[in-house]
Amino acid sequence: MARVTGSLYERRQTRQIHVGDVAVGGGAPISVQSMTTTKTADVDGTLSQIYALAAAGADIVRCTCNEQAAAEGLAHIVPRSPVPIIADIHFHYEMALAALEAGVQGLRLNPGNLRKPEEIKLVASEARDRGVPIRIGVNAGSLHKELYERFGGATPEALVESARMELGYFEEVGFDDVKISVKASTVPLMIEAYRLASEAFDHPLHLGVTEAGPPPAGLIKGTAGMATLLAEGIGDTIRYSLTADPVEEARAGRQLLEAMGLRERKGLDLIACPSCGRAEIDVIGVAKQVQAALEEKNLPIQVAVMGCVVNGPGEAREADLGIAAGRHRGHLFIKGKIVRVVPEDQMVEALVAEAERLVTEGIEARLAAADAGAAEEAEADRRALFEEKGKDANASEARVELIRKTVEEHH
């Protein structure tokens, strides 16, 4: 049993893995995950939801990869996502290989769905060679039939054994960049399974009550399970599984961690694009300048810093305020609507000034105060940059060709 420190148990020590630039386990802050509900082949719709999830507090986002069109969508999504992307693999190992070609930062495999040892080991080998972690996502509702029979149902022991068997396949090919989940829709079963897993493995654990249902009942079930375990020091990353807008999942996850003192509360919520092939500024540098300026003023708003006027305002339209760069100018937007176009060297100053007005006057008033012609001016910049950089500035089509080749080879 973990040692009590104040009102909570000391966190269980685990190995540390990295999902993109997000550390999981090994004392890293507990991360919040959610999953898109869009068709992954709908690139713009999926990216819009990913940005909304990031603004709501998600550190990592999972997207389904159930068909070739989804894998090809991921090739376009990954370079433009503000957070690491995990591909959710269902029954076809070819989709895991395709997702790796798309550049995802993680995979989720369900041992109850993908069962052939040679296919599992092939995926693990490819992930190993790319430095991509895998979550072993055990689910009480889809255990292997043999485990149901051996343990007399979906017991905590059966869930943990499923994860242990999958780890055995991974170990055969020298792959251990792993996190584990043993989810169930019944809270007591979920709690006992994770307690057992925490004793059996030193890998980071991803917590969740699966198929919890719509709020408020789903929120209560998820909180009952995850908060119990977090209070015992168990858990390295979490996800609410709600029948609702996934933004509610991300927001609830962040609020739970803040309420338990496991993540710091913050007034400013800053999101930034990863600086893809269309970026015309040092996104990281500008984001740091904006964060320093706004944190000093302690303004409680969501702000987006986007490197590209082609996609930026639309992808980050859930943010209260944002700036997108292009053709040596900054497009200032509120809730995705352009309100001002400023010279590039005035971007940070203009953003900070607008943030202060936004907090004082409110969103509707600032939208009403938009500069005349700003939207048209921004659209002209957008069209010109699109023509200059081309349709495929991130070379995603090259990844798509690799995906198609991979799928053909393994059919």
For 8-37, the pLDDT digits (tens) are 678 999 999 999 999 999 999 999 999 999
1 band by pLDDT with thresholds 50, 70 and 90: very low
pLDDT tens digit string along 27-81?
A: 999 999 999 999 999 999 999 999 999 988 999 999 999 999 999 999 999 999 9
List the one residue out of 59, 108, 71 whose CA is nearest residue 86: 108
Whole-model pTM: value is 0.86
Residues 6+ apart with CB under 8 A from 72: 41, 102, 400, 403, 404
- Judge whether 406 lies within some domain: no
130 band by pLDDT with thresholds 50, 70 and 90: very high
- Domain end marker among 207, 237, 259: 259
Tokens read off for 125: 């080998």
pLDDT of residue 4: 43
Query: Is the domain of 283 the same as that of 374?
Result: yes
pLDDT of residue 27: 93
User: What does DSSP assign to residue 209?
Assistant: B
List the one residue out of 314, 274, 321 whose CA is nearest residue 294: 321
Query: Is the domain of 252 the same as that of 273?
Result: no
3-class DSSP string for 82-123: CCCEEEEECCCHHHHHHHHHHCCCEEEECCCCCCCHHHHHHH
Query: Is the domain of 199 the same as that of 296?
Result: no
| Helix H or strand E encompassing 198 | helix 187-200
Tokens read off for 176: 């251990």
Q: What CATH number is attached to the domain comprising 332?
A: 3.30.413.10
List the one residue out of 10, 9, 8, 63 whose CA is nearest residue 33: 63
- Domain end marker among 259, 284, 300: 259
Query: Is the domain of 216 the same as that of 346?
Result: no
pLDDT of residue 3: 47
Tally of structural domains, the chain: 2
| CA 218, chain centre distance (Å) | 20
> Tokens 């909570």 identify what position?
8
Query: Is the domain of 175 the same as that of 254?
Result: yes
**Under 8 Å between Cβ of 2 and 12:** yes
> Tokens 């420190």 identify what position?
5
Q: Is 332 left (phi over 0), alpha (psi -120 to 50) or beta?
A: beta
- Judge whether 283 lies within some domain: yes
SS3 337: strand
- Judge whether 84 lies within some domain: yes
284 band by pLDDT with thresholds 50, 70 and 90: confident
pLDDT of residue 277: 62
- Judge whether 157 lies within some domain: yes
Tokens read off for 273: 């694009």
Query: Is the domain of 211 the same as that of 248?
Result: yes
Mean pLDDT check: name the lowest of 126-135, 275-284, 309-318. Answer: 275-284
Query: Is the domain of 336 the same as that of 289?
Result: yes
Tokens read off for 187: 């809270």
| Helix H or strand E encompassing 306 | strand 302-306
- Judge whether 407 lies within some domain: no
Query: Which structural domain range is residue 213 located in?
Result: 4-259
- How many CA atoms are closer than 13 Å to the CA of 387, on its beta-carbon side? 6
Tokens read off for 283: 């996104």
275 band by pLDDT with thresholds 50, 70 and 90: low
Query: Is the domain of 275 the same as that of 236?
Result: no
pLDDT of residue 17: 98
- How many CA atoms are closer than 13 Å to the CA of 407, on its beta-carbon side? 19
- Judge whether 362 lies within some domain: yes
> Tokens 């500024």 identify what position?
281
Query: Is the domain of 306 the same as that of 244?
Result: no
Tokens read off for 265: 């509360």
Query: Is the domain of 210 the same as that of 305?
Result: no
| The amino acid at 228 | T
Distance (Å, whole) CA 94 – CA 170: 17
Residues 6+ apart with CB under 8 A from 125: 173, 175
- Domain end marker among 259, 294, 309: 259
Query: Is the domain of 175 the same as that of 211?
Result: yes
Q: What CATH number is attached to the domain comprising 45?
A: 3.20.20.20
Mean pLDDT of all residues in 371-384: 86
pLDDT tens digit string along 145-183?
A: 899 999 999 999 999 999 999 999 999 999 999 999 999
Query: Is the domain of 245 the same as that of 285?
Result: no
